[in-house]
Structure 1
Amino acid sequence: MDITLTEEQAMIQDMARKFAEGELAPVAAQLDASKDYVLLQEKLQQLAELGFMGLNIRAEYGGTEAGVVAFSVAMTEIARACASTAVSMSVTNMVAEVIQAIGSEEQKAKYLPKICSGEYPAGSFCLSEAGAGSDPAGMRTRAVRDGDYWILNGTKMWITSAAYAGVFVVWAITDPERPKGKGISCFLVEAGTPGITIGKAEHKMGQHASATNPVIFEDCAVPANALIGELNDGYRIAVEELAGGRIGIGSLALGVGLAAMDYARQYMTEREQFGQTISRMQGPQWMMADAYTELEAARLLLMNAACLKEAGKPFMKQAAMAKLYATESANRACYTGLQLLGGVGYTQECPLERNTRDARVTSIYEGTSEIQRLIIARELLREV
């Protein structure tokens, strides 16, 4: 199997790297400390202008049409500099892909150009609830048909980019009489629709500059044509689209892990103890070697999943494997890097402190590591 990047993919990777180094890295610490959503939106707009908000979206809708592999490598480069920016980019691309995959022609023509161009700073994926995180089929948000409208009531939790999203993809129960998971539908709800309230931003451990808020729907009336996909087919849609989202979050985690280890590797060549740099000591060398080996394995798993998705082949198991391994290895890499720096790595003057906080949630959102293991086991047993 040839996994060498094509000329276009390599160009997108290089463009993402230059943007990350030139535009994001200089302000990443500021974004983390200030939670400056205005500055973040400026960076998201610049990414949209570069074509990074619709990397797998067809050109007729304003997308780049570069594919899943290009999306993965671009995500990794952006996350090397700023995980907060990267997660908004990942979710917005996922929202656009949902609309492209199951939206009507009218919905695609209406929303995709606004997402790809940056007219909408971001898109939000409203699935999780307080009692329905790893078990989305247990959601309680309801949508009731009333003439030419659907009336939504419920609260979604931990919604990325909610504070500045232009459109929300919202899941709600439309037939409570059906078996669990079988009566859920999906809706497109525009920001500013009466009945939507964006709750107070969560105070998070990491990824501070990315807004994460509850989204409350109180008698929120949306037109009948806001339904996206088939009625009562929403759970299947969520499961399929989350599989693609795992490639994005795995790629993000890889970028954070690489950033941490790249910083630590450079530090090893400068820090002296016992009359020599620690880069000459076998212990630190082995720590570095193990971390980079795991990150390279994560990259290959992500590339495999991305290639399968791009080719239109089944990829759920491979995406779960990639997400599980990339996020866990990124967390280990950050702690290894911090350990190599010693006391200085624990201070906020050093990016390792931010990297370590930012990496932690990657093994939780878009499906916890435990859920990935369940998916992998289910798919393996299905093959028997």
Structure 2
Amino acid sequence: MATTRTPRGPGNQDEPAGQDPAEGLVDDPYAVCARLRDTAPVHRIAGADGSPAWLVTRYDDVREALANPLLSLDKSRALPGGYRGLTLPPALDANLLNMDPPDHTRIRGLVGRAFTRRRVEALRAPVRRTADALLDAVEPLGRADLVAAYAAPLPITVICDLLGVPDGSRRDFREWTDALLAPDPAHPEKAKQAVVAMLGFFTGLLADKRSSPADDLLSDLIAVRDAGDRLSEDELMSLAFLILFAGYENTVHLIGNAVLALLDHPEQLAALRADPARLPAAVEEFQRYDGPAPLAIRRFPVRDITIAGVTVPAGETVLLSIGSANRDPGRFPDPDRLDLDRATAGHVTLGHGIHHCVGGPLARLETEIAVGALIERFPRLALAVPRDEIRWRPSIRSRGLLELPVIL
């Protein structure tokens, strides 16, 4: 798809021939986002799948687009041959990330009841017990990789307990999701193998729950499915997949990124230790400062639309830069500084509009407890390696640490 055939508006400037304006976005995302915001509000780039996409960078435009009903999540709205993103079988793909109303409204209503603030708050004590048990395990060692030993197992334990996934079935899930979100270019077959493995996993899990229902969310969803026509079988399996996949993946990165941000800002860490009541507000700043999802889920205009003066044809891929919007100085002054006293209202880490993250209350609770328990237990917490050795996942889809070695 040639750039020259696409109408341009005054807010979009031509880039040097052959150069992707978003080059370096994985290695230095916030510096690249700052340059892109300063240059133009909308840029033509190569997306994560290599196909052309429109990247929206400024806060006001991103927030407005997140709630724009003319920007569809339904992949059938994409131009033929245009979008080449992650492909899943129908049994995993019929989920909220690919739906518009009325299907989106119907399914979100079913799952939303499991993530109300009241229900999530009831999980506070179990989440704290899980956090304490994980910290008990690493304390005698004196040091740990906080991603592998803490940030990853905590949310996977919580979401699996909520769904009713047996303990013995949890060990492979992180490897599968890593293969999908940060694929290894040298081994592209791993992503396909992960899809096959997950399909088999969820098929078996649903069969087990049908034969032996329990007091858990997955058994409740199966009962809804089997009692009427509110969920198709593909929707049921896709919903279970999405809750487990999204319910832990983003929280892993949010916890790890938050801890690193505090270690990078010792004065903020000291202030939080001195007043733990600030943790809920701190979690909002962690989300704004270095959230786990640099981009919102891709969207496709249902007809030609104009974003910040730029005409985007129907069916082309639109990427909304959450990371760039949250660091827009026009909305958040001095945005590259972690400031736990900042007014964070309006950050778009969890989205905006009808596609706002349904699991947001749970992610907030887990991060609050995980960070609070950690800094309370280990007052001398410090990095175990030089700061420039900290490595990030090579992905523009997710923003997370490969590891976080610390001295406890």
TM score, norm. by length of structure 2: 0.26
Specify which structure has the bigger relative contact order, considering alpha-carbon pairs within 8 angstroms and separated by 6 or more residues.
Answer: 2
Going by fraction, where is strand more abundant, 1 or 2? 1
TM score, norm. by length of structure 1: 0.27
